[in-house]
């Protein structure tokens, strides 16, 4: 009887030790800790690899990108510039998305159809400008832009503006319109590859024309003027001038 109890005691101790070793091996070498890249909703995540402690924000928590307007401007027979103003209304999230632009003639036939990617910082308004779009001789009368896919939404706070517009002046000469824009680098570091987009509108907001130029370099705290020219006179009483600035990644040029 004593021998049987002793064997049972030894077996129980051995079994407990085996459980402890197995638990240690599982926790150390087998169990995977929750991450934001494992394709599983785990840990404190609100969705699959999003929310909680993850940098990626679950898409339903963010407001959609706003399409403020879209328009096409004919610059020559069979060639047009396409422009659209979009806005990220989220002040704590940056958004990477894919958009689609379609243009149509007066009979409703599709002329152009292309998709591109865009990344918007928190609260950013971006003037999408695509010059030299070929229309095969047709005249574009309608332009539509649509966000077809949200690629990612990440937590990020809006930055202070590095660049500011100090002046905007329109002049006319030889049947042309010239926009002179004064810029200032408001930061303590040089800025490179600055995209400058000028928009001329009526007082009621109707967009008349758009142009774009680049400034390669602007030193810290420096000021400089850039120029944009339209090969026609854009004369309207109380002409409204909007300028959109951003530093462009070299891969986008």
DSSP notation for 84-137: EEEE---SSEEEEEEEEEEEE-TTS-EEEEEEEEEEE-TT-EEEEEEEEEE-TT
What burial class does residue 69 get, using C-beta atoms within 10 Å of its C-beta: 0-12 exposed, 13-18 middle, 19+ buried? middle
pLDDT of 252: 58
**Quick one: how many helices (H) and strands (E) in the chain?**
1, 12
Sign of the Cα pseudo-torsion (149, 154, 158, 163, in order): negative
Mean predicted lDDT score pLDDT of the chain: 88
> What are the tens digits of pLDDT across the range 180-194?
999 999 999 999 999
CA-CA distance, 194 to 196, in Å (whole number)?
6
Reported as a pLDDT band with limits 50, 70 and 90, residue 9 is: low
Whether pTM > 0.95 for this model: the answer is no
**At residue 93, does pLDDT exceed 80?**
yes
CA-CA distance, 40 to 245, in Å (whole number)?
40
DSSP symbols for 176-226? EEEEEEEEEE-SSS-EEEEEEEEEEE-TTS-EEEEEEEEEEEE-TT-EEEE
Rounded to the nearest 5 degrees, what angle is found at the Cα of 49, between the Cα atoms of 43 and 54? 75
Is the separation of the CB atoms in 121 and 239 below 8 Å? Answer: no
Which residues 6+ apart lie within 8 Å of 1 measured at CB? none
Q: Which residues of 97-111 are buried (b: 16+ CB within 10 A; e: fewer)?
A: bebebbbbeeeeeeb
> What are the tens digits of pLDDT across the range 191-214?
999 999 999 999 999 999 999 999
Domains and CATH numbers, the chain: 59-155 (2.60.40.3230), 163-252 (2.60.40.3230)
pLDDT of 220: 94
């Amino acid at each position: 009887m004593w021998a049987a109890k002793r064997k049972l005691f030894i077996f129980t101790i051995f079994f407990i030790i085996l459980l402890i070793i197995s638990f240690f091996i599982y926790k150390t070498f087998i169990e995977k800790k929750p991450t934001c890249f494992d394709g599983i909703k785990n840990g404190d995540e609100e969705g699959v690899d999003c929310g909680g402690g993850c940098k990626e924000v679950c898409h339903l928590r963010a407001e959609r990108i706003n399409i403020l307007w879209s328009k096409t401007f004919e610059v020559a027979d069979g060639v047009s510039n396409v422009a659209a103003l979009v806005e990220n209304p989220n002040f704590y999230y940056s958004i990477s998305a894919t958009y689609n632009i379609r243009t149509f003639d007066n009979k409703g036939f599709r002329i152009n159809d292309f998709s591109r990617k865009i990344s918007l910082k928190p609260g950013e308004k971006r003037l999408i400008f695509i010059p030299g779009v070929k229309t095969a001789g047709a005249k574009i009368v309608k332009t539509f832009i649509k966000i077809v896919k949200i690629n990612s939404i990440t937590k990020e706070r809006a930055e202070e503006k590095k660049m500011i517009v100090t002046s905007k002046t329109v002049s006319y000469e030889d049947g042309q319109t010239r926009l002179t824009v004064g810029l200032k680098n408001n930061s303590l570091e040089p800025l490179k590859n600055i995209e400058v987009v000028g928009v001329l509108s009526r007082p009621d907001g109707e967009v008349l024309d758009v142009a774009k130029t680049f400034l390669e370099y602007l030193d810290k705290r420096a000021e400089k003027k850039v120029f944009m020219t339209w090969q026609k006179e854009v004369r309207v009483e109380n002409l409204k001038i909007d300028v959109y600035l951003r530093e462009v990644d070299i891969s986008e040029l």
